[in-house]
Amino acid sequence: MEYRKITSHDDWIEIWLSKFIAECENRKLSADQIKADQIIVRKYLSENPGNPRAIDIKKFKKFIAAEGLAAIAPFEVFYESIARSDKHCEILTELKLVLKAKKP
């Protein structure tokens, strides 16, 4: 087994993203969808260094509100299967309802 040398926040982002991509492939998402979702998750992780489970809910809500409905599905995968966080999953459920209600 080969160990990765983790020396920076960018190293952690790559670890989270590799797990995210593997889960998306396991769920049989299209390559285009995985690429789009990966961009959103990378942006979020870049803007919020540290453990994704510990990212403040206010920051999470603000990010999702700015990105819109397109950000819901990637974070459902991320927070349900990669960095399990019940509090973030609960917020996603609430935000999904709010964003769908705003959609014309």
Would you state the pLDDT for residue 6? 66
Residue 46 to residue 50: CA distance in whole angstroms: 9
Quick check: is 92 in a domain?
yes
Decide: 91 and 72 in contact? Cβ < 8 Å.
Answer: no
List C-alpha distances in Å: 84 to 3, 14, 30, 42, 65.
Answer: 23, 17, 23, 17, 21
Q: How many other C-beta atoms are found inside a 10 Å radius of the C-beta of residue 104?
A: 2
Query: Whole-angstrom distance between the N-terminal and C-terminal Cα of the chain?
Result: 51
Assess if residue 70 is contained within a domain: yes
Answer yes or no: are the C-beta atoms of 71 and 96 closer than 8 Å. Answer: no
pLDDT at residue 82, rounded to an integer: 97
Q: Domain total for the chain? A: 1
Q: How much is the pTM? A: 0.88
Within-domain flag for 3:
no
What average pLDDT is seen over the chain? 92
**Is residue 2 assigned to a domain?**
no
Give the model's pLDDT for residue 99: 79
| Residue 58 is assigned to a structural domain of this protein | yes
- Residue 26 falls inside a structural domain: yes
Tens digits of residue pLDDT in 48-98 = 999 999 999 999 999 998 998 899 999 999 999 999 999 999 999 998 888
* pLDDT surpassing 80 at residue 1: no
Is 1 within the bounds of a domain? no
The DSSP element (H or E) to which 69 belongs, if any, is: none
Classify residue 4: in a domain, yes or no. no
- Confidence (pLDDT) at 3: 60
User: Domain range holding 41?
Assistant: 9-102
Q: State pLDDT tens for residues 26-48.
A: 999 999 999 999 999 999 999 99
